[in-house]
A and B are shown apart, each in its own frame.
Chain A
């Protein structure tokens, strides 16, 4: 398939001819489209103004010329807002056979499959998740779609929206700010430990992952939250561009882990801006697994703003045939005794390309800060490629900065060793790959980790020997 065809002409995957929309914007981006989105959502004037401001910035900014090739994206051919009629947008029958087959192989339960494939309806069951939501509410935790969050907590949203990812931060963030829809709004009060991981699909009666989702998380002092987005089964989407923004605010002593398992369909441009603001003794940990998409450009950031704040990034990138994973992290140390760690693991196979692109910046005055960066790349064949672009900007003397990078292949010795224990070559290859990823996979909630291992196993089939 030629990328141009997919992007310019969404017929391959667009089900718009079958779905009835309550509202479908005109193709392309204009002030009218933005105004229409805002008015359909009954937004306050200030949000409309921000959207319009973002649109103006988007139009002025050049498309990034670094990272992956973004030239095939035709912004004028995209529908920026589609509001499906009713809740049943699709039926199981409409889900492509390839995706059903994958679900079958990895053994996703039927109910979950429908949800994963974007088929909504029966799954939104009060019975299943009602009790969870009730427990959260009792603790004062707010967990809503971003649209609902804006409607019900406008002051909070106004205070934090666009504060750590300014609307003009980059062209795609500007685009998201102009046309955002869906995503999550999470508020955790002082000293509340949310306990179980909060999973985006637990949200009831709301849009699940959208094309331009916007997530805002506020963790008040001493609170603790683990938020999980995405799913390890291929996320089918009619859209070819996914441009999300995630903003997280971590107050004194609060801890947040944000886990993403991204397995977008292989035509998707996944261009995401994620950033956390971390205050004194706060901890932010990004755990990011990128398996799918055609091109992903994503560099989750931690702004370590208070003394002893800690930022972490653990990531896995899988770049198979026709894929480019251009991912990394940014750690900005602004206060003394701040610490950060980046562990990036990438695998490239069948001509795929995995790029690590990262920044560690230690500002003047951030004395006794430490940062450690580990980038390990595993290349499975001659056709595939891995690049590492680390940037360190150290403006303070009394700091410790470590950087390790390795590039490896599955060695003949390792294969022979495992085969000598009676393990066949293909299985041995999978074991070596899973072992390579283990330091990151162990931080992912069990059910996702298991599925991720299985998926990688599927991708690995026939790749060794």
Chain B
């Protein structure tokens, strides 16, 4: 599904990723762990086409296509969505406005079935209920004055409706209490089962991975993958932290 080969990325002339290779298969959950400043979020931002991240070398193939030349919306149309660490507020634009535009764009590209504005409204309401989102938030500008937890739930609500092929979770666990974390993780796992969605989980901590069990785990440090394996890495980090990678 996603093949990242030897990716080198710089921001403001500083090399942040120094040759990263990652593969995420269809329906796979891959965890990318690492301490602060290791380059995890840079990887996520590069994948979605944030213009501040300059690709200096390597390649990224999504379903066999080179996506590095695509703009962020082009990548989204290919099926890549990110749940942001700090979802930005857009005053006056409701989740309904956003999703309607998003679905209409897809229809233009000949993808997806035509959804009426009313059906979409009802769909959003029912999905919001499942995620325990206060209905009043649906009528407000997205993320405008929302709590950290509400913002994260809104991201997952969008995932439920947009049904991406690859979901990138950028530190989804920050600012979430345990109940909300479990709820969101369950929703994501369910989506993986239902649609074969792939997930790249970017996280500093282990706690999310108790609910969202990864198939593969990688550890990133100083812009390089320093460890890769299965779930046992999570346990190792639990007991030893990132110190064990100090010498590499």
**Docked-complex contact A423 and B73, CB < 8 angstroms:** yes
Check if A419 is an interface residue, CB within 8 A of chain B: yes
Closest chain A CB from B53 CB (angstroms): 11
Q: Chain B: how many interface residues by the 8 Å CB criterion?
A: 30
B89-122 interface mask toward A, CB cutoff 8 Å, 1 = contact, 0 = none? 0111100011101100110000000000000000
B87 at the interface (CB under 8 A from A): yes
Interface of A is mostly: helix
Task: Check: A438 CB closer than 8 A to any chain B CB.
Answer: yes
**B75 — nearest CB in chain A belongs to which residue?**
A420
Q: With an 8 A cutoff between CB atoms, is B81 at the interface? A: yes
Given A422-B162, A423-B105, A424-B73, A431 and B82 touching (CB < 8 A)? Answer: no
Docked pose: A66 CA to B52 CA in angstroms: 43
- How far does the Cβ of B25 sit from chain A's closest Cβ, in whole Å? 22
CB atoms of A417 and B87 under 8 A apart: yes
A462 shortest CB reach to chain B, Å: 16
Contact B90 A419 (CB under 8 A): no
Q: Tell me how far the C-beta of B40 lies from the nearest C-beta in chain A, rounded to whole angstroms.
A: 17
A432 close to B (CB within 8 Å): yes
Given known contacts A421-B162, A427-B105, A435-B91, A416 and B48 CB-to-CB distance under 8 angstroms: yes
- In the complex, the answer to whether B73 meets A422 with C-beta atoms within 8 Å is yes
Once the chains bind, are B76 and A439 in contact (CB under 8 Å)? no
From A440, which residue of chain B is reached at the shortest CB distance? B92
Taking CB atoms, residues of chain A closer than 8 Å to B141 are 435, 438
Per-position 1/0 for A430-448, Cβ under 8 A of B = 0110111111000000000
**Taking each of B49, B73, B75, which has the highest tally of chain A beta carbons within 10 Å of its own beta carbon?**
B73
- Residue B77 interfacial (CB < 8 Å): yes
Contacts A431-B97, A435-B97; is A421 near B91 (CB within 8 Å)? no
Most chain A beta carbons < 10 A, residue from B49, B92, B162: B92
- Whether B84 is near chain A, meaning CB under 8 Å from some CB there, is yes
Q: Does B50 contact A (CB under 8 A)?
A: yes
Rounded to whole angstroms, the CA-CA distance of A428 and B102 in the bound complex is 10
The answer to whether A420 touches B48, judged by C-beta atoms less than 8 angstroms apart, is yes
Residues in A neighbouring B51, C-beta threshold 8 A: 412, 416
- B158 within 8 A of partner (CB): yes
- Beyond the given pairs A416-B50, A423-B76, 19 more chain A to chain B contacts, judged by CB atoms under 8 angstroms and listed by A's residue number, are A411-B88, A416-B88, A417-B87, A418-B101, A419-B49, A419-B73, A420-B73, A420-B75, A420-B84, A421-B101, A423-B102, A424-B105, A431-B90, A431-B97, A431-B98, A431-B101, A432-B93, A435-B90, A435-B97
Chain A residues packing against B (C-beta within 8 Å): 411-414, 416-425, 427-428, 431-432, 434-439
